[in-house]
Amino acid sequence: MAKKSEINGHGMPHSDSTDQIIEKSEKRTFKDKFILFLNRNLLVIMTVSGVLVGLGLGMMVRNMNLTRGQMTYFAFPGEMLLRMLKMIILPLVVCSLVSGAASLDTRSLGKLGGIAVSYFLVTTLIASGIGVSLAFIIKPGVGAGALNTNNLGLESVSNNKETTDSFLDLARNLFPANLVSAAFRSYATDYKMVAVGNDTNGTILYQKVPFGTDSDGMNILGLVLFAMVFGVALRKLGAEGEELIRFFNAFNEATMVLVSWIMWYVPFGIMFLVGSKIVEMEDVVLLVTSLGKYIFASILGHVIHGGIVLPLIYFGFTRKNPFSFLSGLITPFTTAFATCSSSATLPSMMKCVEENNGVDKRISRFILPIGATVNMDGAAIFQCVAAVFIAQLNNIELDAGQIFTILVTATASSVGAAGIPAGGIITIAIILEAIGLPTNDLSLMLAVDWIVDRTTTVVNVEGDALGAGILHHINQQEILKQQRQQEGEGCQELAEVRVEVVASAPAEEETSPLVTHHSASDKPSNAVPEAIESVL
């Protein structure tokens, strides 16, 4: 069997050309190696430098006491980066899912989809468990009973949506009534008070009646489901659907070219995104001292899940070094840290997973858009910490039933969480409503969300990337297994003939493939004539 070399955790077969390349690389001077390293990692170095320069720039500009209008102008280059990334999300998600679903046969699609959904649910449930456990160990809300919205000068955040309606809206958004409007609007339930009669004292009685409204924001869940089903339908058409499949494949490739161009603007845009956020901070010392234990619990949960749990799951499936896989994804991780948006990170994640880690395009373009929509491990951690924090803040003891409700609700509601900055705050409201806790302290979460949301997004996209790596490995193993079975069937037929020919030979020689696969001249002279005649 041919030897293999490892590149970011993926085996690459040896050949004469690769051996020549290795020999040449050994002869290179230090200067050549350094230039080669710069060429390969220039974008990563620039992106990380952009974050560091942005921190320094923000601290400098912060002392200039800019007005609100001037802050807006200062944040403009960063705003342009976000607009570019959001612009590319719709064609990228739809085209990649249609071409990905159309390129896989129905059996493989069902199997890979089942593994992906199981992986997403299990990792999110583990994340929720980590969040609840850390909140009970660290106790971020104990002793902070005096802390409230008015102390910190924050605006109150309210959410009057029923838990049932939140999950019904999730189901409604899976099937958008209008695909065009789904590109920029999603369904949301609102309420109105309707008079239903009078009581005995003549007082008018009112009932709260839900009705549907359209809220701003892409209905990514409905578009993902439609694109997947449409891709399967195109494959079922056979020859008639090939033209349209080729169109979506070409559209997808063109979109990835646009992504590669946008990536070169990322370092500059990230610098101003981070810098403007530093400038906009008001009294960060008061916030950190007041909510420091909550921030610490959330970030510690992200470190444990992203640095230990997810890599262990990847290693358990693939038996490969997860950190060599993750080392090829520094650019999307930096983008996630700066933008706080899983959806905005999707273009760079797709590019790096395919080019740096060698993941099959059919796998990455099928699983990553789904993961960016439904896999929210980092969000589940901070939502569970926030729910327990608010319970401790209000001196409410949570029983086993309420803890179980937190775990299940956080896992289920993270599916519909918007992949945008501060999208998880609304999901916390669903959890609080489910366990009967007040939602008037949500503004505390929103006050420090810009800190916690950065590590949240990094863990979210890390889970997506490792999921793509696991599915790629499983797919490769299936292909190898099928090839071995086909080779084994052919060898078995040949071996049966050889064994009959050398029926009286010693047992080791009969079962040895080295003997049975050789020519007939190697057969022993004392073979039984009847056996030879029966074969002839």
Three-class SS string for 12-65? EECCHHHHHHHHHHHHCCHHHHHHHHHHHHHHHHHHHHHHHHHHHHHHHHHCCC
What SS3 string covers 341-368? CHHHHHHHHHHHHHHCCCCCHHHHHHHH
Contact predicate 416/170, CB 8 Å? yes
The average pLDDT across 497-508 equals 47
3-state secondary structure of 458: helix
Per-residue confidence band for 191, with pLDDT thresholds at 50, 70 and 90? confident
Q: Which helix (H) or strand (E) holds 321?
A: none
**Highest-confidence segment of 250-259, 308-317, 395-404:** 308-317
The whole-number average pLDDT for the span 186-208 is 81
Residues 401-438 pLDDT 10s: 889 988 988 887 776 565 555 556 777 887 887 888 87
Q: Which residue has the higher pLDDT, 49 or 3?
A: 49
Q: 446-494: per-residue pLDDT in tens?
A: 777 878 888 999 999 999 999 999 999 998 998 898 888 888 777 766 6
pLDDT given at position 41: 78
Report pLDDT for 463. 94
Residue 416: per-residue pLDDT: 59
| Mean pLDDT, rounded, for 41-48 | 83
**Taking 80 as the threshold, does the pLDDT of residue 242 lie above it?**
yes
Mean pLDDT of the chain: 79
Least confidently predicted of 97-106, 156-165, 247-256, 369-378: 156-165
What pLDDT is recorded for position 502?
46
Question: Whole-model pTM?
Answer: 0.75
CB proximity list for 44: less than 8 A, separation 6 or greater: 330, 331, 334
Q: Which residues contact 68 (CB under 8 A, 6 or more apart)?
A: none
Decide which of 404 and 373 is more confident. Answer: 404
Report DSSP state, residue 104. S
Look at residue 504 and tell me whether its pLDDT is greater than 70: no
- Is the pLDDT at 268 greater than 70? The verdict is yes
Q: How many CA atoms lie within 13 A of 341 on its CB side?
A: 18
More confident position, 161 or 357 = 357
Mean pLDDT of all residues in 369-385: 88
d(CA 309, CA 301): 10
pLDDT in tens, 281-298: 766 676 677 788 888 999
